[in-house]
């Protein structure tokens, strides 16, 4: 007899697979059934509103019934309760995942700890704005992966109109990245944020040392006094030389790629002010509440995860694409790549057994309309089936003639319609197969609160996918081996394969 999870997958595999054309034809209520309007009234901040339209995916009632049964078999409700209840959501590292607490969703002790840490960050941000560290016009934020992508996304999205401080996020060890930031900053009015959960990451520590060197060589008498550390390892930051008053800690149980809400968000707060940062948190909290309190298909992130599982495990899609029809979200595909691929790109289940089906697809994407003129050919006529997400804002971010925004939205909607409808032609080269899925997230306006809700939506979607696949989304051991081998190359120890040895010799590394 098969176990309940296998039975649920068997049932899913037995569901009839209809075309989108047939699904729309068969059910006039389809758009209403597979769309969710989320309206969040936030205290002290602008309300958040967004429409989630999953009707152009192949989900239908039999599939949704079966996915809901799968969620039950996988213990989704208990896993969700454990996540918010501070249970061991990350068993391989034996700890909770408390990023939700940073925005007020979690156990009382976790939330109180988060509030105290954010209050500390707020005091430093306000003090800097008031001139406590002298004139500050620039911030070079040094971090990588989760210590860079969230801040970069949020700063880029929220500072188009006004930025209190000019922020440059530098992640790559390639010195060109840091040189570019140096060229744009006046050392006399520049602060350096060193963002690293572990405070050991080689790229970040090397870049931080070079940034201090640059300050010192350019007339700053106390370079160390210009550094702020953002870390879950405050002792190490102090050892490295950062004054305790400028170390902003965050809890170990907040994962790197989930850390935007913690002191890793310092550059965002410095650029837009603490009030806007709190709006970002409030938007995320509202999405937490929706995710926590809504069951089954009515739950937006869970519905999205049902579609993700359908395409990955039942239709064999190896990639999924995200196109933001909004310049302010240009960094979103990069951000989602880490969130989804580092979380769910796993080969073993939560029990440590090899997975029996594919896990995270490759997340990729870009901005519309640019991407239409570069990669959409493959989406429309290529041989790979790629589920697409479109993300757009009803309110424009620009102040130019409204025709810009109108064209932007029209193009976004046209692409989803074209992917689905396809087009017949006597000439095979000019025919479009159609029946290609997409989902659309249409936000009312892309402000700080909405961005918070959007990012939290994807965090919960990623978590829901992990629960349905029975994997741990909160560890990332797959990144360690390459780091260890780089260390061996650096120290000259260890034996390498003939190809690597030849490459090292060619580059003069040996």
Catalytic-role residue among 290, 342, 346, 459 = 342
End-to-end, the C-alpha distance of the chain in Å comes to 59
Q: Does 462 bind ligand F6P (CB under 6 A)?
A: no
Q: Tell me the closest approach of the beta carbon of residue 302 to ligand F6P, in angstroms.
A: 25
449 vs 313: CA distance, rounded Å: 33
Annotated active-site residue in 29, 373, 399, 493: 373
Give DSSP secondary structure letters for 280-328: HHHHHHHHHHHHHH--GGGSHHHHHHHHHHIIIIIS---EEEEEEESGG
Pick one of 7, 35, 198, 500: the residue that binds ligand F6P (CB under 6 A). Answer: 198
Active site residue 483: yes
C-alpha 441, offset from chain centre: 15
Minimum distance of ligand F6P from residue 484's CB (angstroms):
11
Cβ proximity of 274 and 448 under 8 Å: no
DSSP 376-439: HHHHHHSSS---EEEEEESS-S--S-THHHHHHHHHHHHHHHHHHH-B--SSGGG-B-----EE
**Distance separating alpha carbons of residues 441 and 93, to the nearest angstrom:** 34
Q: How many other CB atoms are there within 10 angstroms of residue 29's CB atom?
A: 8
Examine residue 201 and tell whether it contacts ligand F6P (CB under 6 A). Answer: yes
CA-closest candidate to residue 215, choices 206, 226, 202: 226
Report in angstroms how near the CB of residue 380 gets to ligand F6P at its nearest: 35
CA distance 265 to 498: 44
Q: Are 206 and 175 in contact (CB under 8 A)?
A: no
**Contact call for residue 393 and ligand F6P (CB under 6 A):** no
Site string for ligand F6P, 271-300 (x = CB under 6 A): ------------------------------
Please report whether residue 486 would count as binding ligand F6P according to CB under 6 A. Answer: no
**Cβ contact 356:368 at 8 Å:** no
- Residue of 57, 66, 90, 147 interacting with ligand F6P (CB under 6 A): 147
Min dist. Cβ of residue 147 to ligand F6P (A): 4
Of 437 and 473, which has the nearer Cβ to ligand F6P?
Answer: 473
Interface pattern 334-353 for ligand F6P (x via CB under 6 A): --------x-----------
| Cβ distance to ligand F6P smaller for residue 256 or 267 | 256
Under rule CB under 6 A, residue 18 binds ligand F6P: no
Select from 8-16, 116-124, 161-169, 191-199 the region that touches ligand F6P (CB under 6 A).
191-199
Q: Report, as residue numbers or ranges, the catalytic residues.
A: 342, 373, 483
Interacting residues toward ligand F6P by CB under 6 A: 144-147, 196-198, 201, 204, 256-257, 342, 476, 479
């Amino acid at each position: 007899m098969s176990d309940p999870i296998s039975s649920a997958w068997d049932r899913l595999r037995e569901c009839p697979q209809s075309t989108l054309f047939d699904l729309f034809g068969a059910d006039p209520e389809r758009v209403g059934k597979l769309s969710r309007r989320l309206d969040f009234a936030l205290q002290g901040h602008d309300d958040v509103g967004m429409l989630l339209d999953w009707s152009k995916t192949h989900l239908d009632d039999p599939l949704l019934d079966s996915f809901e049964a799968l969620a039950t078999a996988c213990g989704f409700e208990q896993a969700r309760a454990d996540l918010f209840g501070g249970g061991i959501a990350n068993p391989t590292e034996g700890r909770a995942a408390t990023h939700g607490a940073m925005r007020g969703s979690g156990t009382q002790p976790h939330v109180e700890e988060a509030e105290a840490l954010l209050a500390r960050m707020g005091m430093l941000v306000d003090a800097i704005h008031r001139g406590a560290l002298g004139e500050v016009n620039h911030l070079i934020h040094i971090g990588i992966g989760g210590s860079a992508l969230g801040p970069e996304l949020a700063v880029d999205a929220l500072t188009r109109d006004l930025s209190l401080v000019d922020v440059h996020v530098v992640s790559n060890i390639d010195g060109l990245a840091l040189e570019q930031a140096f060229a744009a900053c006046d050392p006399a009015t520049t602060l350096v944020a060193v963002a690293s959960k572990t405070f050991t990451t080689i790229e970040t520590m090397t870049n931080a040392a070079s940034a201090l060197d640059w300050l010192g060589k350019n007339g700053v008498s106390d370079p160390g006094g210009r550094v702020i550390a953002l870390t879950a390892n405050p002792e190490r930051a102090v050892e490295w030389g950062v004054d305790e008053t400028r170390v902003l800690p965050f809890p170990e149980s907040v994962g790197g790629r989930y850390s935007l809400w913690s002191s890793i968000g310092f550059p965002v707060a410095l650029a837009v002010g603490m009030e806007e940062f709190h709006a970002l948190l409030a938007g995320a909290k509202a999405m937490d509440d929706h995710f926590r309190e809504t069951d089954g298909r009515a739950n937006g992130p869970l519905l999205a995860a049902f579609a993700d599982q359908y395409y990955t495990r039942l239709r064999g899609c190896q990639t999924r694409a995200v196109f933001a029809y909004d310049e302010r979200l240009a960094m979103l595909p990069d951000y989602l790549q880490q969130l989804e691929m580092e979380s769910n790109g796993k080969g073993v289940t939560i029990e440590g057994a090899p997975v029996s089906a594919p896990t995270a697809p490759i997340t990729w994407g870009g901005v519309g309309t640019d991407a239409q003129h570069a990669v959409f050919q493959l989406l429309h006529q290529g041989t790979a089936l790629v589920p697409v997400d479109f993300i757009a804002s009803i309110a424009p971010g620009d102040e130019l003639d409204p025709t810009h925004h109108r064209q932007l939205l029209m193009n976004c909607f046209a692409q989803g319609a074209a992917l689905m409808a396809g087009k017949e032609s006597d000439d095979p080269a000019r025919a479009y197969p159609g029946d290609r899925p997409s989902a659309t997230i249409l936000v009312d306006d892309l402000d700080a609160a909405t961005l918070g809700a959007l990012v939290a939506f994807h965090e919960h979607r990623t978590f829901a996918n992990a629960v349905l696949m029975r994997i741990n989304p909160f560890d990332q051991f797959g990144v360690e081996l390459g780091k260890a081998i780089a260390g061996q190359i650096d120290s000259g120890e260890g034996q390498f394969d003939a190809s690597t040895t030849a490459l090292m010799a060619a580059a003069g590394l040996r």
